[in-house]
Amino acid sequence: MTIPSVTLNNGVQMPAIGFGTWAGMDPAEWHKSEPWLATALKAGYTHFDTAQMYGTEKYIGNILKDAGIPRDKLFITSKLLWNYHSLIEESLDTTLKDLGTDYVDLFLIHWPQMVLYEEGNIRPRNPDGTLKVVESPSFNDVWAVFEKLLDTGKVKSIGVSNFSIKTLEELLKTAKVVPSVNQIELHPYLAQTELVEYCKSKGIVVTAYAPTGYSQVLGDPLIIELAAKYKASPAQVVLAWHLARGTTAVPKSTSEAHQKENLNLPTLDSKDVERITALDKGLRICNKPTETGIICGWSVERMGW
């Protein structure tokens, strides 16, 4: 299968399979991303998904500069750092400088909750260990600034990440521009069918992060069975499932062989797509709420999870 592009609600074309660039929580390790970013570019990825929180933007900038690929042949997604809610354009300018580009193709609100700004600390915590979230500005306020960014030429499209039906409904009450994308954790064990269908009804493209579900999903007997049927890897089967559902995905791999595989996907029979969707367990693998139902400083009820 040739990897298709999808048309966002503003007419912008986005490759349906991008490359995720999260490099872990340890800043001392982020520089190690450059070799596997370079092999991803060599493998044929043109869509790179990053964020200030990931710490990889400058390394993406390095490999793109060295490659000399025309900017209009690339699609770059980045995300607002959650405690830069009052410094949005400054945050974007830092992203652009690190990436070595004049614009990003897609700029997302990374999380609906906003976190207290503390110099040099992107995860300030209360004594009980929870994040120090702030009530103002709200994501509605931040979105109003995002809408104005469209007029600067520094962003081509705007969207959100980790939004639910609940938070999207709240956002759309004040939004003048409908988000182009909602990037969420999405895989066969967390199929989020209701949210996917809601987004489609609003013209919002869904992008999956953690799209393979890692070893928990890839080791599922059904996925292994279908991998044999389609003469593909388990990851290829799961990524093909995303495309068959009309969703997009940003898998990450440090393996050059797996990077190439993820761009060469089978076409699944509709019954097999349904069988994979039926694996849904509502299981979050990436961002699990605490035992008390808190995720990044908000309750799961407030998140709409």
Token pair for 288: 């699990």
Nearest to 161 by CA among 32, 12, 20, 57: 20
Q: Residues near 221 by Cβ (< 8 Å), separated by ≥ 6?
A: none
- Host H or E run for residue 217: helix 214-218
- Looking at the predicted structure, is the pLDDT value of residue 24 above 90? no
Using one digit for the tens of pLDDT, what is the confidence trace for 137-186? 999 999 999 999 999 999 999 999 999 999 999 999 999 999 999 999 99
State the pLDDT at residue 130: 86
CB 148, CB 136: distance < 8 Å: no
Mean pLDDT of the chain, nearest integer:
96
- Looking at the predicted structure, is the pLDDT value of residue 79 above 80? yes
Nearest to 188 by CA among 252, 240, 228: 240
Using one digit for the tens of pLDDT, what is the confidence trace for 102-124? 999 999 999 999 999 888 888 88
Amino acid at 293: G
State the pLDDT at residue 128: 86
CATH architecture designation of domain 5-303: Alpha-Beta Barrel (3.20)
**End-to-end Cα separation, the chain, in angstroms:** 34
State the pLDDT at residue 214: 96
CA distance 80 to 111: 9
CA distance 129 to 262: 37
CA distance 173 to 186: 25
State the pLDDT at residue 221: 99
List the catalytic residues.
54
State the pLDDT at residue 97: 98
- Looking at the predicted structure, is the pLDDT value of residue 276 above 80? yes
State the pLDDT at residue 204: 99
**Is 110 annotated as contributing to ligand binding?**
yes
- Each domain of the chain, given as residue ranges in start order, spans 5-303
| 293: confidence class by pLDDT, cuts 50, 70, 90 | very high
| 259: confidence class by pLDDT, cuts 50, 70, 90 | very high
Q: List beta partners, residue 248.
A: 207
